[in-house]
């Protein structure tokens, strides 16, 4: 029976966070953002292994971050882009597990992922051989601007979704799709699969699974986690 593995690309610098510390290591609730994601997957019996891909020149990685983790290991194979980092990680996985196994690629800077969301994604493997991704239907009105930031058009939001992670595909399929399309610089794994002719399933995600990209996002995620987990401290003292 195919197993489920997690790949977390963790080689980015997070320049938009305006922080000297890469965003995957920024503290939230006393733990690095990355560790929140790892803990979710570590807690799930369905997940067989977790692989964090870092750069060879990562000056901030500390082995202690995963010293008490049973399923997690580190791959030193970071690339110049997210797509190349993922591809390098997949190449390693192919030496360890079967190409028919499922791989869930997750952003290190999405600390709000939950076991329920991951299970909803895993559950589609029973009926969908392609795989899929967590996503949210677009709720806001979309505007197209000119070069002077003036609104020139309203874009229909019908059938538009905001992609999240994890994004789950067969290891062999995703490796092939990324290998064939890496030159096109896909922005996520689903785009590479779409270019390869697949139609990934969209699985309802959650606002709490927000990706931390800008400085204000850290406070937003802290507030979301606090509101949904009232036993934790306040948003002010969790960052």
**pLDDT of 187:** 96
Of 92, 96, 161, 97, the closest CA to residue 132 belongs to 161
Going by pLDDT thresholds of 50, 70 and 90, the confidence category of residue 55 is very high
Pairing of strands 102-105, 4-9: parallel
- Cα dihedral 38, 113, 124, 131 sign: negative
Structure tokens at 89: 């990680």
CA distance from start to end of the chain: 41
Q: How far apart are CA 200 and CA 105, in angstroms?
A: 14
Q: How far is CA 51 from CA 80, 115, 228, in A?
A: 18, 17, 28
Identify the CATH number of the domain defined by range 4-133+163-237.
3.90.550.10
Mean of pLDDT values over 178-183: 98
Q: How far is CA 175 from CA 88, 91, 105, in A?
A: 9, 7, 12
Mean of pLDDT values over 172-177: 98
* 8 Å CB contact between 76 and 89: no
Residues near 180 by Cβ (< 8 Å), separated by ≥ 6? 195, 196
Structure tokens at 22: 């890469």
Q: How far apart are CA 50 and CA 36, in angstroms?
A: 13
Q: What percent of the chain lies above the pLDDT cut of 70? A: 92
- Domain boundaries in the chain? 4-133+163-237
Residues near 123 by Cβ (< 8 Å), separated by ≥ 6? none
* 8 Å CB contact between 23 and 35: no
**pLDDT of 29:** 86
Q: Report the run of H or E that residue 169 belongs to, with start and end.
A: strand 161-170
Q: How far apart are CA 137 and CA 158, in angstroms?
A: 9
**pLDDT of 215:** 87
pLDDT score of 231 more than 70? no
Q: Residues 7-54: pLDDT tens digits?
A: 999 987 655 555 678 899 999 989 999 999 999 999 999 999 999 999
| 71 secondary structure, DSSP code | S
């Amino acid at each position: 029976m195919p197993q489920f593995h997690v790949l977390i690309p963790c080689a980015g610098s997070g320049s938009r966070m305006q922080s000297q510390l890469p965003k995957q290591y920024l503290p939230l609730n006393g733990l690095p953002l990355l560790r929140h994601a790892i803990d979710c997957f570590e807690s799930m019996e369905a997940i067989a292994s977790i692989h964090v891909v870092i750069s060879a020149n990562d000056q901030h990685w500390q082995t202690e971050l995963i010293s008490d983790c049973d399923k997690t290991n580190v791959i030193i194979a970071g690339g110049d882009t997210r797509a190349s980092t993922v591809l390098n990680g997949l190449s390693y996985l192919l030496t360890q597990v079967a190409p028919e196994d499922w791989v869930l690629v997750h952003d290190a800077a999405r600390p709000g992922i939950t076991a329920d969301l991951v299970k909803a994604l895993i559950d589609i493997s029973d009926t969908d051989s392609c795989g899929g991704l967590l996503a949210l239907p677009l709720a806001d009105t979309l505007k197209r601007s000119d070069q002077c930031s003036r609104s020139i058009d309203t874009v229909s939001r019908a059938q538009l979704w905001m992609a999240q992670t994890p994004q789950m595909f067969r290891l062999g399929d995703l490796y092939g799709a990324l290998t064939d399309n890496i030159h096109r610089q896909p922005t996520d794994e689903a785009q590479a699969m779409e270019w390869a002719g697949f139609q990934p399933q969209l699985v309802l995600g959650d606002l709490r699974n927000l990706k931390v990209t800008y400085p204000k996002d850290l406070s937003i995620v802290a507030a979301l986690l606090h509101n949904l987990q009232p036993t934790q401290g306040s948003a002010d003292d969790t960052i």
